[in-house]
Structure 1
């Protein structure tokens, strides 16, 4: 009985040696070790063991070979799938087109072996229509190519990008969470913003920004339609949130739109975009416009002007700094005193603003306020050096409202004055810089206003 148990143990040990060889095959090794117990020759038992080991080895090797062939075939198919868009790529960017993107997304979602989530990230170039109008379509094409290349260079292994729309790029990315997908979208947006595109010298700030919409499967849907719909809605929400920052300015424009021709409504859209661009590049301008609007309306009502004229003054306040869109960002935010050359450049913004709105017939009544809000009552202002009543009434109102807000707001080069200090400065400059009648009307309005009452 003991002899039988020892033989079984030897058999198990020998079989283990053979199986060990098969296990080693998984790591790429292909050999068998069989230990002989006779020391001189192979006996029948050992030959049987060797035969069994060889059979096990061959069967396992065959199974592994079939699996390896299957994996390589799948890899080749995936590699081919990842490049089969070349014949159908977008000729401008070299990226696959929208149709391929959708097909590839459906394939990824249908892959049962994929244990990770699938994210769709949409990047929309902000103000791309404005860029085309300002710089020309050739430069717009160049910008789109450059942005596409920045995105392509910053993708991870396994991510793919396509041209999703006229000014949109779409990315399919494996991820473990929505937060990871959002982080990727934010990183790509930051890379684009930090890239010094050569075609942006004439635009304020010299940067291009993108809005990002993200959706992740299965969190936001398991089909391509659900996922893309959610990503597009997320993108729209982001863009609306950006516009909401400037929504306080747009109700006045919406009233004006009612009387516009169809051709002029497109231009109003451009004006809105320009306002957003100015406000986005300079946080001071963002709040400054709404405060000047409020002060100008206070003055107009205190003077007892008719409602139609008050509305025009509101438009003027809304648009008075529109020309700053062409003033370099570094000058708007400079902490020190401007040089004479720099100040000459800043002084061009009233003329530029007037030129921007000149094509809109219904806005022509606003031009005097935009063009002359930096004139002085003593004739020492700009751009035309008008004096006294030569300066249009709306511009004289704008000058007081604009200067008061500038004095009561912190700036990089000086702290804000108190309301009382600013009022004293208005009194001191009445008759030189400002129309005295406008100054007295504004001071009276401030004393009556609960928010701005002089203390």
Structure 2
């Protein structure tokens, strides 16, 4: 047998596929995709073997050519079913493909419908195909093309980078086969171009297995053996260079040959050293990618964790690096809370349903990790006796975490956190190198996490102090209850970093009234202000007031009914915290906070935040009590002033309901003019209290039947100033004071006490002047008789533009006649 390129190519290809077949056979476990893939590689092995034997066993060339074409059809059919399995989808005609494959293979092997004859002449293959080959073999090519199309479609849909890499190399391998195989139907078919393409496909599949664990097949190759490859290549190159040099300098001999060889060796070694280092680096990336990436990951983390001081950024960065490098879909950090010493979920990947899981100090898992430095495995949880006495809920929590390793994070031998990882995406067990890498990650970042914790804790305290200081300064500036509760609600949302805050006060009859609402999400939250809390919620409110502590309620609490969930707003948010506003002697209400968890992975109401909430509640209680006391004092003062106003009405000779009639008429005018609610309310109280300053006018002047002299007029003109000074201390009546002061000013500037004119006179005072004049003309006075409505209107119109604002006179006359 004469070995030439036509024989060497099939032989090498056969060797490659035989090695792949052995690899797939020994891989464990034998899953369905691996079993289907085994048939694919087996048919390719037979295809390559037939191509080799057709040139070696020349007496049976026709037999091996028929075996070759049958193997090709079998490969394309098995590839189709293999793609079905890995994509987990079955086409409508999958059941019929096997019948086509069996019939086509039989026709290829035992008839001349595909291959008519085949001979080897001078080492070259000569064969003749039947015209029926296109009908028998053609559909198999269409099946392979369709399979490639499905792989490309799945590649585009996949978001897993590792899976995309597996698919792209598998697609490339099959595409290479389908592109070159049609050469067999041309005169170039006598050359093993299709077999060479098959060999390249085998290399692509092998690379996909070694680099990306195609079908989760992992090959363990001794690193020293792989590193010997560049050494062999360099040695061969050195031998070739030395041989070439000796052939060029044949005339030299003896010592000259020795010196020449030494010089060539030195130069070759110097030139080859950089190549060897680069070759080994390439081998690291090619064959030991996971270990290579782990080293790079540790190097990257060592540089970045020391510079990042945000606890959540550090933990999430570590999880992202570990997950992408070691292909771990689920991992989490549980870090110790400084307040309650519980280990709470700080960051997670693939653990979205475990936010509420936490581990107490006496938990067997915490106790074991505190006393050991090595990781705890899932197998340890199942066999160690200290974990057999777990409560059912604790066992359920561990099962929900679905962790394979629990790795302790320690600082000075004190457990500060737990780093847990789930199963690898490849379902392979963790190797000692993997465990060493993960332990190194935990040890490397423990100090950084503790530093970040201290930094975050200090920053949180500073932020809390700034917030409390700003809130305290703002609360000191006001005694208005509405402003106080609104300020507390707004500052609470910003400082606790939640989405909702509400303050409800408890009334004397036991009802809870919503006094303030601040929400980041709901624009109509203020519509709730002033409304009564539902009765179904009062049960919780009264219980919390009795407990005298903050309580956190979650939507998934099994003790809550649908009506209670709705009443507590848990149908819109994930959890709420209700904190009592309790003074020294009484419970004044509740601070209700809510969060929807939309902006973070950590708990909305951690122990640190609960401590801040309690401080805010104390501030709020004090401010609300002060505002309520101020309101009661103002109400008492207002009642006193109204009593004084009534006493003034009683001293005057007006009818008893003079002030009330003025209030009704002034309010009507204000509403006709479309004034805002607060201005109408100020106009109402100004009408009631406009003559309260007459309390300081002697009865002799107030009820004098004749005209007043100059001194008496001076005394009478002081009553607007006196009235304004009386009501000025009451904050609620601040807008009323200017109206009382100016209600005797005239539009032309001839009034008193300040001689204001036109727009200088407050609008309320201009309205009050017209109303007061009308009622004075209509009422009987000690110094004048009462007049008719028509006479009063005529007099007011006569004084329009002089004593009164013309615009207000027009509105008044239209309103009074309606």
**TM-score (normalised: structure 2):** 0.23
Higher relative contact order (CA 8 A, sep 6+): 1
